[in-house]
Structure 1
Amino acid sequence: MAAPSDAPSARTSPASDRRDRLALALVVYAVLLGQTLVYPGVDLLTAEFGGSGVAGPTLFLAVEFAAFALFAGPWGALSDRLGERRRLVALAAGGGAIGYLALAVVASGGGDGGSRFPVALLLRGVQGAMTVGALSLAISALADRSGGNGRNMGVAGIAIGLGTASGAPIGGQLFEVGATVPLYAAAGLLAVAAAGSLTIPDRPPEATGATPNGTDSGGDADGGHGGLGALLAGVRDRRELAVPYAFAFADRLVAGFFALVGTLYFREAFGLGPGATGLLLAAFFAPFALLQYPFGLLSDRIGRVVPVAAGSAVFGLAVIAVGFAPSVPAVAATMVVVGVLGALMAPATLALVVDLGGEDGRGAAVAGFNAAGSLGFLAGSLVGGAVAAEFGFTAAFVVAGGSEFLLAVVTLPALVRLGRQSGRTAVFGGGD
């Protein structure tokens, strides 16, 4: 239970909520910026550890997101049970900073590179387990604020988008200085996030116990299991969560695809270096970041169905178009379209999770969302890399974009059924 001095105030003002949103958005931004700094030159970084070919970058990305999927649930459940976020965010961000620093030290060490790679993968897993706690709980803390789930998740989306948008070009420039420089920068960012999170007051619902219907609240939904347990338990207890979780999986599959296959494709097909590759990735992430907040507000007004279903369908087709674009300017223009569509659907999908999770279990619901997304990122890296290696980059783009399009078509009836529920979620508007 949180200490009395940490108990949320019974009264909040719009000004204090705005300050809290800004501070939490900065924490989310720092975490995502640190995470994405390594993407533009991930092949160069893994070479420092002794990893080679497509397998090295694939494993390095996959281990982190496997840890995300496994450990998002315990962080969310612990936060709901204790009734606090900020000190757990600080603990997780501090642990992530140490993990990045340890990776930099290992990469800079001498000796046999091949023997360093397994150590690097182990440290990467630990770093991912800590980092997901900071990210997931900071988003949960944003969901605790008043003002509407679409608004709050739009703020989270801006922070996520800006972190990834700036991480790509900045990381590319840092790689031009040295292969381990992005790791040291990420460690510093996580340390700042850890310190900054301690200044933000907690305003979560009361610590979990028995809910009015006599069952355990969502914070213990995973029954003490890991992120996958939270994901499965959340779907079991609230079956409707399967819909936004499926979209989280597909959306992050595309993100994982771009982080690995897209980066390698841009480097190989157009002969781009890390700096130019980062700028090309930013063509997607910039509009994705800047439009999240207004599109989040839009989902509060018109509901979640249209942004999620229509946005995802066209998003998938745009991803396929990237693989057929004949030149760098054409790729950049198509990536901008992908970013706009991603911004349309992302805050609505996350707001739908918060709608369905309820006050007593939003930490676990968001953790399940992050677990589903992490599994998607993992699948995007592994499946995208395998398809690209076996059938070529064009086929990989078709698989990644086609999966998003087919999901939107298949799940549309389920989204409409959610919209017809009364008094439970703001699927067709009228958010709180």
Structure 2
Amino acid sequence: MSERSRLALVVWGVLVSQVFLYPGLDETVTALGGGESILAGTWFLVAEFGAFVVCAVLWGIASDSLGSRTPLVVLGATGGAASYLAVALAPSIGLGFDVVLLLRVVGGAFTIGAFSLSITMLMDLSGGNGRNMGAAGTAIGLGAALGSVVGGQLTALHPLAPLYGGAALLAGAALLGATVPDRSSGGGLPVGTVVDRVRTRPKLVVPFAFGYIDRLTAGFFALTGVAYFRDTFEIDAATAGITLALFFVPFAVFQYPVGSLSDRIGRFIPVVVGSLLYGVAIIAVALAPGYYLAAGLMVVVGLCGALVSPTTMALVTDIVPATERGAAMGGFNVFGSLGMLSGFLVGGTVTELYGYFPAFLAAGGLEIAIAILASRSVHRITTTERESHLA
């Protein structure tokens, strides 16, 4: 199996472990002592993603400074597996929901290391930035797709089964990650140098901003989208998982070819036009009068999202040299994790206050807004990078 395939499987395993929890989140949180309100589920997810925000860059800086990534990927996945197992065992040993949230924070601090640095290791490979980030995006999408379907089925067996399944997958990711050789530039740089170099690249703000909004929509669908389908169309957790997969399967399948295509035609059209279409499709889901039409529109949402995700990550790789990739991808994942947090909070809060349609309008409107506001910046970056590669 190639290094690209193994690294993609590590990314896939981390994503599956997370998404296992989404379709039956209400049942899992209730079994852990959190109650049945949407806010309890919100805080359960926020605890993990809050740690993602704090720790993503730290892992990246550490890998750039050490000039090594593989041991850190193994450490992150192993720690994540232990935390998932601890959360699953919490009710049986009398631990309350407040301790569960603390364990989620600890787990998030480890898991983001495995996730972010395995993507960084894909960035280190040759073969085209779009192609490598397409592999990462495909792994993310397929992980989310399988996780949403199997997670719903696991919840039907037992509310805590998704946690045990996630622990097993993260342990497997640690073992597989250990087989991948380091392709980082080696030698490392002082921490201060890494931080200063990344901070002096303002162009990174553009892919970071797109990453923030794109992950916001993912967080929105993981919590509010699932709740919308379950409440509006009265479906169970298993059906909700299948519905979520209607988004994630096309989102996954088309990322690798889109990433490869962007190596030839540039990033502008997939990023900007894709974001506009993505936002419109999100809003359309909430306007659908019946389940089958709404579910069909989830496929359209996934197709549009596949245009944006790999090309946005490829922009990061285009901008920074090899010695700064860990910190740069860590920064991208900080913004992405903040986006997921925002998606949970915005979706949950707006739904609680105003209802589902205003929440969908907010999520889709933000995607449209970033495409319009940042289109000129994306054009400048893509033009500059293409000219520098041709020079």
TM-score, normalisation: structure 2: 0.96
Q: In the alignment, is the contact (CA less than 8 A) between 2:156 and 2:238 conserved in 1?
A: yes
Q: In the alignment, is the contact (CA less than 8 A) between 1:106 and 1:120 conserved in 2?
A: yes
Q: Does 1:311 align with 2:285?
A: no
Q: Does 1:97 align with 2:81?
A: yes
Q: Which of 257, 262, 276 is equivalent to 1:294? A: 257
Whole-Å Cα distance in 2 between the matches of residues 216 and 259 of structure 1? 37
Any idea what SS the aligned residue of 1:343 has?
A: helix
The letter for the 2-side match of 1:50 is: G
Residue 371 of structure 2 is matched in structure 1 by: 408
Residue 9 of structure 2 is matched in structure 1 by: 26
CA drift of 1:109 comes to: 4.1
Residue 224 of structure 2 is matched in structure 1 by: 261
> Any unmatched runs of 5+ in structure 2?
none
Residue 296 of structure 2 is matched in structure 1 by: 333
Q: Which of 162, 165, 171 is equivalent to 2:151? A: 171
The verdict on how the C-alpha distance between 1:262 and 1:423 changes in structure 2, with shifts beyond 3 A counting, is closer
After superposition, the C-alpha distances for 1:43-81 in whole angstroms (9 at most, x for unaligned) are: 111112222301100000111111111100111011111
The verdict on how the C-alpha distance between 1:64 and 1:83 changes in structure 2, with shifts beyond 3 A counting, is same
Q: In the alignment, is the contact (CA less than 8 A) between 1:355 and 1:425 conserved in 2?
A: no
The letter for the 1-side match of 2:225 is: G
Whole-Å Cα distance in 1 between the matches of residues 355 and 127 of structure 2? 47
Whole-Å Cα distance in 2 between the matches of residues 374 and 418 of structure 1? 24
The verdict on how the C-alpha distance between 1:425 and 1:27 changes in structure 2, with shifts beyond 3 A counting, is farther
Q: In the alignment, is the contact (CA less than 8 A) between 2:224 and 2:344 conserved in 1?
A: yes
Residue 195 of structure 2 is matched in structure 1 by: 221
Residue 15 of structure 1 is matched in structure 2 by: none
TM-score, normalisation: structure 1: 0.87
Q: In the alignment, is the contact (CA less than 8 A) between 1:356 and 1:424 conserved in 2?
A: no
Whole-Å Cα distance in 1 between the matches of residues 41 and 116 of structure 2? 24
CA drift of 1:201 comes to: 0.8
Q: Does 1:116 align with 2:96?
A: yes
CA drift of 1:263 comes to: 1.0
Whole-Å Cα distance in 2 between the matches of residues 175 and 359 of structure 1? 42
Residue 60 of structure 2 is matched in structure 1 by: 76
Whole-Å Cα distance in 2 between the matches of residues 244 and 50 of structure 1? 39
The letter for the 2-side match of 1:326 is: P
Q: In the alignment, is the contact (CA less than 8 A) between 2:135 and 2:255 conserved in 1?
A: yes
Whole-Å Cα distance in 1 between the matches of residues 170 and 302 of structure 2? 26
Whole-Å Cα distance in 2 between the matches of residues 28 and 425 of structure 1? 31
Q: In the alignment, is the contact (CA less than 8 A) between 1:355 and 1:424 conserved in 2?
A: no
CA drift of 1:356 comes to: 0.8
After superposition, the C-alpha distances for 1:225-272 in whole angstroms (9 at most, x for unaligned) are: xxxxxxxx84x3110011100000000000010111111111100111
Identity of aligned residues (%): 48
Matches within 5 A, 1:235-246: 236-246=199-209
Q: Does 1:42 align with 2:12?
A: no
CA drift of 1:207 comes to: 2.7
After superposition, the C-alpha distances for 1:120-169 in whole angstroms (9 at most, x for unaligned) are: 10000011110000000000001110001001001111111110010000
Q: In the alignment, is the contact (CA less than 8 A) between 2:77 and 2:110 conserved in 1?
A: yes
The letter for the 1-side match of 2:30 is: A
The letter for the 2-side match of 1:48 is: A
After superposition, the C-alpha distances for 1:200-236 in whole angstroms (9 at most, x for unaligned) are: 11111123337xxxx965xx317xxxxxxxxxx84x3
The letter for the 2-side match of 1:276 is: T
Higher helix share: 2
> Any unmatched runs of 5+ in structure 1?
1-17, 223-232
The verdict on how the C-alpha distance between 1:119 and 1:370 changes in structure 2, with shifts beyond 3 A counting, is same
Q: In the alignment, is the contact (CA less than 8 A) between 1:352 and 1:425 conserved in 2?
A: no
Q: Which of 28, 35, 51 is equivalent to 1:67? A: 51
Residue 126 of structure 1 is matched in structure 2 by: 106
Aligned residues: 390
Residue 271 of structure 1 is matched in structure 2 by: 234
The letter for the 2-side match of 1:390 is: L
Any idea what SS the aligned residue of 2:323 has?
A: coil
Q: Which of 134, 152, 169 is equivalent to 1:189? A: 169
Q: Does 1:88 align with 2:72?
A: yes
The letter for the 2-side match of 1:123 is: L
Q: Does 1:205 align with 2:185?
A: yes
CA RMSD of aligned residues (A): 1.7
